[in-house]
Structure 1
Amino acid sequence: MAKIEMKTALVEMDGDEMTRIIWQMIKDELICPYVELKSEYFDLGLEMRNATDDQVTIDSAEATKRLGVAVKCATITPNAARMEEYDLKQMWKSPNGTIRALLDGTVFRAPIVVKGIDPVVRTWKKPITIARHAYGDVYKNTEIRVPGAGTAELVFTAADGTVTREKIHEFEGAGVIQGTHNLDASIESFARSCFEYALATGQDLWFATKDTISKTYDHRFKDVFAEVFEADYRTRFEAAGIEYFYTLIDDAVARVMKSEGGFIWACKNYDGDVMSDMLSSAFGSLAMMTSVLVSPHGYFEYEAAHGTVQRHYYKHLKGEPTSTNSVATIFAWTGALRKRGELDATPELVEFADRLERATIQTIEAGKMTGDLARITSLEDVTTLGTREFILAVRETLDALA
């Protein structure tokens, strides 16, 4: 059968450790035999980021602006241990944070639901989508290690030279300081993306921060959402029969645990990072979550929402068997291919992406799965497959669906 032609390339961002191994397997077995893949390749492995002073990350984001669609493998955000392990020049920032800051927009993450993998929260009947702000907060922070006694101040110098100054703390000994920021324009883009996504999917939208404690920073998020909603979306929401409401983040957590699901939960950057991992794990596995950055400028970046699976990678290097779940990475590829097909009016590419997703889900529902799912499934007589064996099983199902 002839391969599906792509009209326009997409941006391919390779990554680190076990997910890098999976990335190549997916291309070799599930993409390239069926699609004449066109991609602009960027190696975002930690060694290349270090060698280029992280310029490769910036270049990949700029390419996404030009081509409109990207697919990204999981990458390492180094800590002190990683800095020593990889002999880094410095502790490079999160590549996801860098890319999201350049593209703006909102990250939407939703669990991949399959029969036999039941949510650990008994009340959850429908998927819960996390809408995560993609700019600022701790991902663009500035930090200082305070060596001893002294005064810490927050200082803003306006363009006209006016200085605003607030004392942070009078240190009597050593400590740490962290400065974070955000932008009204980015918060508004976040709000509009969330409102539009809710209307497009017909789901209620929740938004939560901690404005009772953070009376300026978090309150600004609350105010911008309220202003945008009242100005442009209240009437549209009422016509669609869906609801928007704001609550505190701790109240939202309590509500989520008692809900049936089927709504969008909008969170600030770090809150969304943590809560999406909680939701994906509670729905089944960290590797069973879709993730897409949607920019108001029309850029789409699809990624696996989990880490690089370091423990399995070290086993792989020793030649030991692994059973690593590749579903989120497969769905990152299908999401990018589908969007490329939609933008380029290539229906056969859209259909292929749909078919590959069906094949992945059907393989699991047939009882063929990786170890993380085999340990929690309610299906009987399942077969636990290794990393490569699962991908080959998906290919067998994919061919049967052709």
Structure 2
Amino acid sequence: MAEFQKIPMKTPLVEMDGDEMTRVIWKMIKEILLLPYIDLNTEYYDLGLENRDKTNDQVTVDSAMATKKYGVAVKCATITPNAARMDEYHLKEMWKSPNGTIRAILDGTVFRTPILVRGITPFIPGWRKPITIARHAYGDVYKNVEAQVPAGAKTELLVTKADGTEEKYLIHQFDGPGIIQGLHNTDKSIESFARSCFNFALDMKQDLWFATKDTISKKYDHRFKDIFQDIFDRDYAGKFKEAGIEYFYTLIDDAVARVIRSEGGFIWACKNYDGDVMSDMVATAFGSLAMMTSVLVAPDGTCEYEAAHGTVQRHYYKYLKGETTSTNSVATLFAWTGALRKRGELDGNEALMTFAGKLEAATLSTIESGVMTGDLASMSTLPEIKKVDTEGFLRAVDEKLREML
């Protein structure tokens, strides 16, 4: 489109590149759908596993600090290494989750919402509206300390107060070998989580559910419950009543049952690990992990957009062999559009915001016309389906986008 005037960007957004097949898709999205239309302005950080190892993971910290500086980031999926990855990539150490590192620095809440399209029917027949998972983005298992314990060991939880006094709590007396894990969170982060959820519910005009396991975790999980209730009663009860929406707390066991029986259309707030698992469950039940938006909203309004799935390792190995892949790029594409829209909103760049909306519309229109990748083709109820490869789908989206522009 030689006649198209490229959209300028005044302020950069932070670009965090990633790993494996999603890294390949990342490059394709930029070349096919972004660079021809936008004078793309990004501050680039390579969060590929090799570069994280090379920089002793400092690049991850740097990318998070840049996000705090510029206010908006877009992140590709990345590998969190296990023992097998240690050998495969010859790593210095088993680096922590980059998402966990970034979230610990930014704090806030991750909001994940399924992307609904005509022709993809949820596995739960009653779900007619999207269910948004609000996931706490700090602490718990993602900032844990853990160890293997030998037989005969006594493990204790030691709290040393500011005045030097100590309190000890017996964890377990081990007859045989075992394992221990220490978790933490902070009142400040939980308060930010609560306010983010309440504000998001008011913006969306949707009911907010919150669930933990406070019957078992009578101090840890109960603290979450109490903080949410205190903030709601003090600052949000009247606003929720005026908006005609509801907040309630329930055990996570009950929440799971109620979610399955619901029609959707609400926000489900979860602790960090619960939100990780339940967002995957919700996305899969709606159709695909690759059909979900994910944005981390920090207390100061900083936003980091990402795909809520892995690096598609199996497809990447096929790609390296020169075999054709049909990988769904929608979540990665919507991470870009979300970040571009937010950058446009902060900069007053209407053209950039409009472009982001049209690119999303072109993506959904492509799928609803019957052109889609293999994961969606296998479950679509559309009468005519054309399965395309990874690049072919992005080219088809580009055709729709050109029509809209």
TM-score (norm 1): 1.00
- Contact 2:76–2:306 (CA<8 Å) still a contact in 1? yes
Secondary structure at the aligned position of 1:78 is classed as: coil
Cα offset for 1:338? 0.1
Distance (Å, rounded) in 2 between the aligned partners of 1:93 and 1:180: 15
Amino acid at match of 1:278: M
What CA RMSD, in Å, does the superposition of the two structures yield over aligned residues? 0.5
Aligned to 1:50: 53
Q: Residue 346 of structure 1: which of 346, 349, 352 is its match?
A: 349
Is 1:173 the counterpart of 2:176 in the alignment? yes
Q: Residue 239 of structure 1: which of 239, 242, 260 is its match?
A: 242
Is 1:285 the counterpart of 2:316 in the alignment? no
- Contact 2:22–2:76 (CA<8 Å) still a contact in 1? yes
Cα deviations by residue, 1:266-318 (Å, 9 ceiling, x for unpaired): 00000000000001011010000000000111210000000000000000000
Is 1:375 the counterpart of 2:378 in the alignment? yes
Secondary structure at the aligned position of 1:11 is classed as: strand
Secondary structure at the aligned position of 1:36 is classed as: coil
Distance (Å, rounded) in 2 between the aligned partners of 1:92 and 1:137: 17
Cα offset for 1:2? 1.1
Amino acid at match of 1:103: L
Equivalent pairs: percent with the same residue? 70
Is 1:325 the counterpart of 2:328 in the alignment? yes
Q: Residue 106 of structure 1: which of 103, 109, 114 is its match?
A: 109
Is 1:135 the counterpart of 2:163 in the alignment? no
- Contact 2:150–2:174 (CA<8 Å) still a contact in 1? no
Distance (Å, rounded) in 1 between the aligned partners of 2:301 and 2:328: 30
Aligned to 2:71: 68
Amino acid at match of 1:131: A
Aligned to 2:232: 229
Amino acid at match of 1:373: L
Question: 1:160-239 maps to which residues of 2 (within 5 A)?
Answer: 160-239=163-242
Amino acid at match of 1:199: L
Secondary structure at the aligned position of 1:4 is classed as: coil
Secondary structure at the aligned position of 2:249 is classed as: strand
Distance (Å, rounded) in 2 between the aligned partners of 1:181 and 1:83: 27
Amino acid at match of 1:82: R
Amino acid at match of 1:88: L
Amino acid at match of 2:142: Y
Distance (Å, rounded) in 1 between the aligned partners of 2:102 and 2:5: 35
Amino acid at match of 1:295: A
Cα offset for 1:260? 0.4
Distance (Å, rounded) in 2 between the aligned partners of 1:394 and 1:164: 61
Cα deviations by residue, 1:209-230 (Å, 9 ceiling, x for unpaired): 0000000000000000000000
Distance (Å, rounded) in 1 between the aligned partners of 2:300 and 2:243: 25
Distance (Å, rounded) in 2 between the aligned partners of 1:68 and 1:170: 48
Distance (Å, rounded) in 1 between the aligned partners of 2:195 and 2:317: 43
Distance (Å, rounded) in 2 between the aligned partners of 1:148 and 1:383: 60
Distance (Å, rounded) in 2 between the aligned partners of 1:70 and 1:124: 31
Distance (Å, rounded) in 2 between the aligned partners of 1:90 and 1:119: 41
Aligned to 2:303: 300
Is 1:150 the counterpart of 2:165 in the alignment? no
Cα deviations by residue, 1:119-178 (Å, 9 ceiling, x for unpaired): 110110100000000000000000011122210000010111011110000000111000
Secondary structure at the aligned position of 1:145 is classed as: strand
Distance (Å, rounded) in 1 between the aligned partners of 2:35 and 2:259: 40
Amino acid at match of 1:180: L
Cα deviations by residue, 1:179-231 (Å, 9 ceiling, x for unpaired): 01000000000000000000000000000000000000000000000000001
Amino acid at match of 1:65: K
Secondary structure at the aligned position of 2:164 is classed as: coil
Is 1:276 the counterpart of 2:279 in the alignment? yes
Number of aligned pairs?
Answer: 402
Secondary structure at the aligned position of 1:35 is classed as: coil
Secondary structure at the aligned position of 1:206 is classed as: strand
Amino acid at match of 1:217: Y
Is 1:38 the counterpart of 2:41 in the alignment? yes
Secondary structure at the aligned position of 1:102 is classed as: helix
Cα offset for 1:380? 1.5
Distance (Å, rounded) in 1 between the aligned partners of 2:167 and 2:94: 31
Amino acid at match of 2:302: Y
Distance (Å, rounded) in 1 between the aligned partners of 2:54 and 2:321: 26
Distance (Å, rounded) in 1 between the aligned partners of 2:159 and 2:194: 26
Is 1:252 the counterpart of 2:255 in the alignment? yes
Q: Residue 318 of structure 2: which of 315, 320, 333 is its match?
A: 315
Aligned to 1:81: 84
Cα deviations by residue, 1:9-43 (Å, 9 ceiling, x for unpaired): 00000000000000000000001100000000000
Distance (Å, rounded) in 2 between the aligned partners of 1:150 and 1:356: 59
Amino acid at match of 1:246: Y
- Runs of 4+ residues deviating >3 angstroms: none
Gaps of 5+ in 2: none
Cα offset for 1:333? 0.1
Q: Residue 93 of structure 1: which of 92, 96, 119 is its match?
A: 96
Distance (Å, rounded) in 1 between the aligned partners of 2:111 and 2:134: 5
Distance (Å, rounded) in 1 between the aligned partners of 2:152 and 2:289: 43
Distance (Å, rounded) in 2 between the aligned partners of 1:54 and 1:174: 32
Distance (Å, rounded) in 1 between the aligned partners of 2:275 and 2:69: 27
Aligned to 1:357: 360
Cα deviations by residue, 1:42-86 (Å, 9 ceiling, x for unpaired): 000000111111000000000000000000000001111111111
